[in-house]
Every structure is written in structure tokens, then in C-alpha cells.
Chains A and B, each alone.
Chain A
Amino acid sequence: MTTNFYLSLIPEALIASMLTPEEFGLYYAIGNAKRSRGQAVFFSIDTDRLPEGAFDLSTVAERCVPHGDGAPKRSVYIAIYRVLERIPREAITALHLATDDGRVLTLEPTEYAPGATGWSHLYQEFCPVSPRVVSTLDPAGFTRFITDQEQPVHVPRIVFAELTLGALAQNPAAGAADDLPYPNVGHLRDCLIELADGGGKPTKTVLRQMTQEVLFRTVSGGFYVGDSTGITTFALPTLDALEREHYAWWRSAQSTFGQ
């Protein structure tokens, strides 16, 4: 059995496991039996690309061994604090999205390609902190802004996703927001109006931290991992591809009650 390394974002941790990503996602979402439930967002990590001494992996071979009955070891925690900042983007080989009933979708990394986006964006940050913010910056600009060490507030590396704003993206004052599934949409509208009014502020916090699971169906474009050296995109498949090729995951992602 091979040992895989996963960077979990909820909570932030580096984990060694003898499970495949699909098995690990299922285990991480629901536990041994169906006694817990919670979506999981985690990366596959190539430890050969980690900087020397970033983590103490010396005990992994001893700790991550099959159980007495031959069952694979599910998880061995290697690190749980400031993990992301110690893993370079090149070491991240795939993103796995597990729904809260354990269906896993794997996304491959791609080069960031700027799209024809509007003036406003809604970002859900996952790691190292998890606020939800609105911004006038596109994903690449937002990454540069938040990882700029010249700024008084910055992080070394960030994982975030862009969420859909619907009609609010173009018209925060009067755009229809009734069908957006976010809590306190009125406050979201106020934040966008404030952003639109200018004043030089490129971002505005909507929620200080993630209080609910992310509804994957609201992800617009994909997930991003960025730092001061650049940005990696993990794009969601098209709706047609989700319907045809990843139906079990897509159906589960749509059915979640977003705890």
C-alpha cells in the first residue's frame, strides 16, 4: 500500500494516509460509519517537491502502516499549524472536493487565465483564514494584493474560491438578489455598494469567517492557490461535464444542506 499525503483545508493539516483520494474524501466526510458529516476540501501533495526540512516526515514510515487486520491506515497527522505556507504551489498536484456524504471530485491544476469578468467579485477564503470578501480585483489581482508583503495585512499563501454574485455583480443597488443562497444578502449588497462608491478600498469583508459549508454549486470558475510568485487554478468542469461525467458528485453537491 502506498502512502499518500494530503493537505486538508478544513481544518488546515498535513496528513499521511494509505487511502486513495476517493477513499480519503469519503472517510474524511463521514468518518468510519455514518456518524459524522461534513464536506472536505483537500489537496494531494507531492512530498518530493517540498522544501528540505519543511516537515518532519521521518516517522511517517513507522506510523502510517496497515492495521493488524490488514486494513489501510486512514490518517496520520503530520502537521496542523501554518501548514499551507510551508507547501509551495508546485507541490500541490490535485484538488479534491468531498461532499458531505463523501462523493469526491478531483480537479487538476491549470495555468491561470484571466477571464472577461466584471468589476466586482465575491471570494470565499479557505486557508489560512476563512473570511468571505467582496473585491474589485480579479483572482490574480486579489492574490497579489493579499500576499503582498508590503501591505500591513497579508498572508504568505492563500487558497480561495470565487463565488457567484448573480445580478449583484453588475448592479449592487438594484440587481435581483432573491435567489442567492447566502446568509444576510442585504449586508452583501451593502458591501458591494460601498465598494462601488470607491474610496480606494479594493476589498471589503462580508463575513469574518466561514460559518457554513460552501455550496459547491455557487463556485464560479474554480478554486485558486496563490502567493507572491503566481496563481494556480483548479477550474470546475462545465455544467454539461458535471451532468455527464461527474453526475454522482454533482447530484450530491446540489443536495447538500450546507451545515
Chain B
Amino acid sequence: MPVWFWLVPIASVMALGAAYYFFSVMMKESEGTETMARIALHVRNGALAYLKQQYKIVGIVLGSLTVLFCFLAYGLHVQNPWVPFAFLTGGLFSGLAGFIGMRTATYASARTANAARESLNKGLGVAFRSGAVMGLTVVGLGLLDISIWFFVLTQFYDIDEAQHVVVITTTMLTFGMGAAVQSLFARVGGGIFTKAADVGADLVGKIEAGIPEDDPRNPATIADNVGDNVGDVAGMGADLYESYVGVILASAALGAAAYYSSGTDVQILAVIAPMVIGAIGALLSIVGVFFVRTKEGATQKDLLGSLGRGVNGAAVLIAVLSLGVLWLMDMPNMWGLWLALMIGLLTGIAIGQAAEYFTSESYKPTKTIAAASKTGPATVIIAGVGSGMLSVAVPVIAVVLGTTLAYYFGSGFVYSTDTMNLGLYGIGMAAVGMLSTLGITLATDAYGPIADNAGGNAEMAGLPPEVRQRTDALDSLGNTTAATGKGFAIGSAALTGMALLASYIEEVKIGISHVLERGSDFVFPDGTTLAAGAIDELQSLDLMQMMTYFEVVLINPKVIVSMFTGAMLAFAFSGITMNAVGRAAGQMVDEVRRQFREIPGIMSGETDPDYARCVHISTKAAQREMMMPAILALAAPVIVGLIFGVPGVLGLLIGAMVAGFSLSMFQANAGGAWDNAKKYIEQGNHGGKGSEAHKAAVIGDTVGDPFKDTSGPGLNILVKLMSMESIVIAGVTVAVHLV
């Protein structure tokens, strides 16, 4: 085991230790007045109640799939025997990351509001360091899971040495599927919960009843605050845990394949390099957290600058240190790999900046949408859809340029069959670069809902205007950082998706090797035959040969129809989740109306509404509605694989990735722009609150809510889950398919 590997568990423990430290410091802060503590308790209990329900369902799904994988591995022998357990730990760690983040956030909101009573800097400190708990927990648990499995498999998995590293890395990839299943439920379920509560609270509370935002008389207001935590914190934590480990593991698998012929020592270095970069990024994220502070009376620009110091400081340090580490590791093509890492970082920044440009009220696109509200809701919708579609161009071009450059840096500027694996490894390293400082970028992302809840707590508790101004400033900053964070998440999903396609081929090879080991010949679709036991011949096949033998060419109808199917799935998934939000919001609307009608004294403030009932309705709706999208995501690769085999699966993944990435970007940016266009009007522009323009903008925002917080983020996971699942079931696809 190379000594560099040990940096990974060390960084993992340090990240988790720092997360615990920040959590302890936050818990020592006061929750403020009795009212503030009571409101926070309502939200905390609601969030916990929801997560219990979600984990019950995910537990059943994870358990069932584990049993299935056990049958495939030990009954049919078409799968690696470690897969069921790796799958299970991925799911558990992903859920744990989301749970810890959400618990922290629900403890932090009242404390942030109370700290804001003292000063803006104190409020920022509590909110940001609480966000850092989740950022560091995600990377800490991710690195821990990777370390444990890498150690266990290298020490205890007894297989042929020639295949050793490749098999280990592709086996580890399967715990990414467990994480993906968990994150799909967390994102989709959380997204449905939060938007059902949000839309229900807005439609009845604000528009029908004329109650202000976060008013305790609104029965859905606690559910709305709970939603911020289960959707934006727990869902995002599970999502990015999956992205983070997926990126590192996919790159490790590509490294194993790329340096297959360079000897085990080099190969193992290529495998652990992404892990080491992730470990250094985790350590630098801890450092970056301490850079974040501001002065009293800080402007929005000052606040953004203070967060930027933390994020950019960590990014600059990783740029310098990663070069040193690659040099010290004596990595082949050191400069090329370092440049690929930098390209990944820059691509992430470009996507984040584009997201900010297209969603911030400081820039033209959002101002144009706000101006369109003067002529009614129809033009708001048209402007938002148009701007959202245009916004896809920059991230796609960034990903295209980033991928191309990373490929060439990885392959040493040689485009040939021989260097293809090296180029793909470069793409993997770019994705690692993009997420290397996830610890702190995720802290800025998780900070948003904490500040939002702190604002709600300050409003409901009736804190003085200067405190509300401070929490408003913190909340407004969170909206900008959230857009940037989503850009990173979506961008990394695109790069990871491409890396996973190559990993899929490696897993297909392993599936074929199982066939050959059982004493059977293997016949490729083009007629090429590998004789029983011809493992070496199989391992010598490069990617292009595999593509040729499997007839993965665009003219092959199996590929084309599967691409269509993949693209369709992205739209069907969006449609199902959007409709789910609509149905759940309808139930919430009915409940809020019922409470106003049947519970006397709500409006006069003499009686508390039944907050728990609204939380229960959102929970039940999310629980019920999350099943269909999950079934769609899990069933599609199996069905397509069983019918069309490997070419079909690749077509499906490419179709879903291309359509899903663009659609996800469109939805996230259109939804964000509608939201901020409404906020821009609420600042007094175009007539301000209560004007006709405001009414139109509220409609745009309501349409955009499920776009940006349910369907958009869910699509990333759909794409990644299908890729991960395809890898896990590659052995089955190879062994059984109809045509």
C-alpha cells in the first residue's frame, strides 16, 4: 500500500473532527428567546419525522436490492461478491451525511438568528460554520468509505494480480450506486416535500389569506421551513456525497484502466491520485472555513467577498498543492494531469458564474424577466423559459471545452486508440478538480437554507428590524451561493457521466471474464469470439475494439432507439416529479384552507394552527410520490439492458446524459431566475409588492419552484444512478439480453 494512501483516511478523520468541532461550537450558542427555541423545535421535529419516513422507504429499497445483488453474486455468480456490501455502505453513508447536515441545520437556524441580534459577523459565523459541518461531513464520510473499501479490497480480495486493481476500483464504484439510490430518494422526496409545503404556504397563506411570508398564523409555514432542511440540506448532502465519491471512484477506475500496462506500482498510484487530491482538498476546505468573516454593516458585496475568500482561498491552495503532490508522487504525465485538474476547477467556476449571471437580479436576464412581469404572467413565463434555455449554452460549452482540454492534457495531446484511456483519465481528474474543495463549496451551499430558516425564525419571533435586516442580508447571500453550488453539482455530474461510461466498459469486461472463467466462449454481437479462459486476450482489448465488437456505432438501431429512450426518460422523470409537486401542493392547499375554516382563532393569533398536520401531509405525499421516479430510474437500465444489451445501455446513458444535463441546467436556471425576478420586484421595482407585476412574478416563481428544487436537481441523480446501476448490473447485461 503506497504511503500516500494514508493521507486519505487521515484527511477523512480530520474533516469529520473539524465538523464535530464546528458543531460543538454552534451548539454552545444560545437559541435565543423561548419563542425562537419553540419555533426551532417545531422545525426540528418536523424534519426528523420526515426523515424517519424517508429512511423507512429507502431502507426497504436498499434492503431489497441488496438481497437481489446477493442472489446475483452468490446464486447466479454473474456479479462480484463484494457488490452487495459495497452497495449497502454507500447507501448508509450517503443517508448519514444528509442526516447530520439536516440535524445541524435545524439546530443552527435559531442560533444564527440569535447571533444576528449581536452582529452581522456573528450571524454569518454561526450560519457558515454550521454549513461547513455538512460540507466537511460529506467529504469526511466519503473519504472514509473510500479508504475502508480500498483497504479491505486490496488486503482481502483474492483475485488474479493482473486484474487486481481494475477489479477493485470497479467494485468500489458499486457503492456509488447505493449512494445514488439514497440521494435519489433524498432529492426527489425532499424536493416534493419542500415544494408542496412552499407552494401550499404561498398559494393559500400569502395569496388567498394575505398573510406575510413566515407568519406563524400560516399552518404550512413550519412545513415550509422543514422543507428547506429536508430538501435543500439533507437532499443536497446525500446528492453531493454521491457526486463526490462517484467522481473519485470513477477516476480511480479510469486510472486503473489507463495505466493497466504500466505495471502495478504506477497503476496503483493512478488509482489513489484522485483520492489524495480529494484528501488535500478536504484539509484545505477546513482552512478555508476560517477565512470567512466580515465586518458590521457589511454590504451584500462584502458578504459575497467574505465567502469568496474562503472558497477561492481553498481553490488557489489546491492548485498549488496538487502540483506538488503529483510531483512528489512521481506521477507519469504530471503536468498534463495537473492541467486537467485546473481545467476542472475552471469549468466549475465558469458554470457557477454562468448560473449566477442567469439567475441573479444584478444582471440583465433576471431583470428582463422582472420587466416582463409588467405585461402579465404569460410574458413572465415566456421570458423565464427563454432565458433558461439560453442559459444552457454557457455550461454546455464550458463542459465541452473542459472535457476536450482535459482529454488532451490527460492523453499528452495525442488522439489515438492507444491513448484513449489516458485521455479519459484526464477527464476524470478534471471532475476531481471541480469537486476537490467540495468541503467548503458545499458549506456555502448548505449555509443558504440555514440563513433562510434564521430569517423565518427572526420574523416569527418578531425580532427587531436591525436583526431582520441582518438575517435578510444573510439569506439573500444564500440565494446567490446556492445557484453557484448547483452549477458545480450539475457540472460535475456531466463530467462524471462521461467518466462512468468508460468505467462501464471496464465492468463489461469483468462481466465477460466471468463468462470465460466459467468455461464458456463469449461471442460479441459482431461475431468476434473469445475462447473460454482467454482472459489475457480480453484484457488486451482497448476501448475502441470493445466499441467495435459490441457494434456501438450511431448507425446501429439498438444505440439510436436507446438514445431516444434515454432522452425521453429525462423528460418523463421531470414530468412525473413536477406533477407530483402539483398533486402534493393541492393537498396542502386543501389542508390550509380547512384549518382556517375549522380552527377558530388562528388569524387572531389566539390559537396555533396544526403545524404537524401540514408536515404530515407533505411527508406522506413525498413518500408516495417518490416511488414512481425511483422505479423509472431503477428499471430503465435493466429493461434496456435485457433487451438491447451493451449497445442499448450505452445509448440509453448517452441519451439521458445529454438531454438530462441540458434539461437540468435549464430548469435550475429558469427556476432561479423566476425566484429572483420576484425578489427584485419585492425590492420596490416595477411597482413592488402587491402590484400587478408582483402577482405575475409570483406566478412565475411558483412555476419555477419545482423546476429548480425538484426536477432539476433530481435529473442529475437520475443520470448518475442509471450509470452506476448499469455498472453494477453489467455482468447480467453481458450474460442475458434478447437482441
Binding site for B on A (CB under 8 A): 23, 26, 30, 32-35, 37, 99-102, 178-183, 215, 217, 243-244, 247-248, 251-252, 254-258
Contact of B464 among A100, A179, A244, A255 (CB under 8 A): A244
Q: Is the CB of B596 within 8 A of A33?
A: yes
B464: A residues at CB distance < 8 A: 244
Q: In the complex, what residue of chain A is closest to B687 when comparing beta carbons?
A: A181
Complex Cα gap A248–B596 (Å):
19
Contact of A258 among B212, B686, B690 (CB under 8 A): B690
Contact of B690 among A180, A244, A256 (CB under 8 A): A256
Q: Which 9 pairs show the lowest CB-CB distances between chains A and B? A: A34-B596, A181-B687, A181-B691, A255-B212, A100-B210, A258-B690, A101-B210, A243-B465, A215-B690
A181: B residues at CB distance < 8 A: 687-688, 690-694
Contact of A30 among B215, B374, B603, B688 (CB under 8 A): B603
Q: In the complex, what residue of chain B is closest to A248 when comparing beta carbons?
A: B462
Q: Is the CB of A99 within 8 A of B210?
A: yes
A34: B residues at CB distance < 8 A: 209, 596-597, 602-603
B207: A residues at CB distance < 8 A: 257
A256: B residues at CB distance < 8 A: 210, 689-690
The answer to whether B600 has its CB under 8 Å from any CB of chain A is yes
B354-393 interface mask toward A, CB cutoff 8 Å, 1 = contact, 0 = none?
A: 0000000000000000000010000000000000000000
Q: Is the CB of B691 within 8 A of A258?
A: yes
Q: Is the CB of B686 within 8 A of A179?
A: yes
Chain B interface residue count, Cβ-Cβ cutoff 8 angstroms: 34
Q: Is the CB of B604 within 8 A of A102?
A: yes
Q: Is the CB of A179 within 8 A of B604?
A: no
Q: Count of A-B contacts with CB under 8 A? A: 88
The answer to whether B684 has its CB under 8 Å from any CB of chain A is yes
Q: Is the CB of B212 within 8 A of A33?
A: no
11 A-B pairs with C-beta separation under 8 A? A30-B603, A33-B596, A34-B596, A101-B210, A101-B603, A178-B685, A179-B686, A217-B688, A252-B210, A252-B212, A255-B206
Query: Given A26-B604, A101-B209, A244-B464, A180–B689 Cβ distance below 8 Å?
Result: no
Within 8 A of A (CB), among B162-211: 206-211
B216 to chain A, nearest CB (A): 11
Q: In the complex, what residue of chain A is closest to B593 when comparing beta carbons?
A: A34
Q: Assuming A23-B604, A181-B687, A255-B689, what are 13 further A-B pairs, CB within 8 angstroms?
A: A30-B603, A34-B596, A101-B211, A101-B215, A178-B685, A179-B688, A182-B687, A244-B465, A251-B212, A255-B210, A255-B211, A256-B689, A257-B207
Query: Given A30-B603, A180-B687, A181-B687, A247–B209 Cβ distance below 8 Å?
Result: no
Complex Cα gap A127–B237 (Å):
58
B364 to chain A, nearest CB (A): 16
Q: Is the CB of B687 within 8 A of A37?
A: no
Q: In the complex, what residue of chain B is closest to A244 when comparing beta carbons?
A: B465
A96 to chain B, nearest CB (A): 15
Q: Is the CB of B688 within 8 A of A255?
A: no
Q: Is the CB of B596 within 8 A of A254?
A: no
Contact of B684 among A26, A179, A252, A257 (CB under 8 A): A179
Complex Cα gap A215–B462 (Å):
23
Q: Is the CB of A26 within 8 A of B690?
A: no
B653 to chain A, nearest CB (A): 46
The answer to whether B590 has its CB under 8 Å from any CB of chain A is no
B374: A residues at CB distance < 8 A: 178
Q: Is the CB of A26 within 8 A of B687?
A: no
Complex Cα gap A100–B691 (Å):
15
Within 8 A of A (CB), among B675-702: 684-695
Complex Cα gap A179–B690 (Å):
12
| Listed residue (A100, A179, A252) with the most chain B CB atoms within 10 angstroms of its CB | A179
B685: A residues at CB distance < 8 A: 178-179
Complex Cα gap A217–B209 (Å):
19
The answer to whether B213 has its CB under 8 Å from any CB of chain A is yes
Q: Is the CB of A257 within 8 A of B206?
A: yes
A180: B residues at CB distance < 8 A: 687
B603: A residues at CB distance < 8 A: 26, 30, 33-34, 101-102
Complex Cα gap A215–B690 (Å):
7
A243: B residues at CB distance < 8 A: 465
B695: A residues at CB distance < 8 A: 257
A258: B residues at CB distance < 8 A: 690-691
Complex Cα gap A248–B460 (Å):
10
Within 8 A of A (CB), among B460-508: 462, 464-465
B587-614 interface mask toward A, CB cutoff 8 Å, 1 = contact, 0 = none?
A: 0000000001110101110000000000
Complex Cα gap A33–B600 (Å):
6
Complex Cα gap A183–B211 (Å):
23
Complex Cα gap A32–B602 (Å):
11
Complex Cα gap A203–B468 (Å):
42
Q: Is the CB of B597 within 8 A of A247?
A: no
B731 to chain A, nearest CB (A): 59
A252: B residues at CB distance < 8 A: 210-212
B36 to chain A, nearest CB (A): 16
Q: Is the CB of A178 within 8 A of B686?
A: yes
A100: B residues at CB distance < 8 A: 210
A215: B residues at CB distance < 8 A: 689-691
B355 to chain A, nearest CB (A): 27
Complex Cα gap A183–B374 (Å):
10
Complex Cα gap A256–B694 (Å):
11
Q: In the complex, what residue of chain B is closest to A177 when comparing beta carbons?
A: B687
Q: Is the CB of B210 within 8 A of A257?
A: yes
Complex Cα gap A101–B209 (Å):
6
| Listed residue (A34, A100, A254) with the most chain B CB atoms within 10 angstroms of its CB | A34
B649-690 interface mask toward A, CB cutoff 8 Å, 1 = contact, 0 = none?
A: 000000000000000000000000000000000001111111
Complex Cα gap A182–B690 (Å):
10
B598: A residues at CB distance < 8 A: 33
Q: In the complex, what residue of chain B is closest to A214 when comparing beta carbons?
A: B690
B330-357 interface mask toward A, CB cutoff 8 Å, 1 = contact, 0 = none?
A: 0000000000000000000000000000
Complex Cα gap A44–B603 (Å):
23
B593 to chain A, nearest CB (A): 8
Q: In the complex, what residue of chain A is closest to B212 when comparing beta carbons?
A: A255
Complex Cα gap A32–B598 (Å):
10
Complex Cα gap A178–B692 (Å):
12
B693: A residues at CB distance < 8 A: 181
Q: Is the CB of B689 within 8 A of A254?
A: yes
Q: Is the CB of A247 within 8 A of B211?
A: no
A207 to chain B, nearest CB (A): 14
Q: Is the CB of B688 within 8 A of A37?
A: no
Q: In the complex, what residue of chain B is closest to A240 when comparing beta carbons?
A: B465
| Listed residue (A35, A99, A181) with the most chain B CB atoms within 10 angstroms of its CB | A181
Q: Is the CB of B604 within 8 A of A257?
A: no
Complex Cα gap A35–B272 (Å):
65
Contact of A257 among B215, B686, B690 (CB under 8 A): B690
Q: In the complex, what residue of chain B is closest to A31 when comparing beta carbons?
A: B603
Contact of A179 among B210, B217, B596, B687 (CB under 8 A): B687
Complex Cα gap A179–B692 (Å):
11
Complex Cα gap A183–B603 (Å):
30
A220 to chain B, nearest CB (A): 14
Complex Cα gap A181–B211 (Å):
20
Complex Cα gap A23–B605 (Å):
11
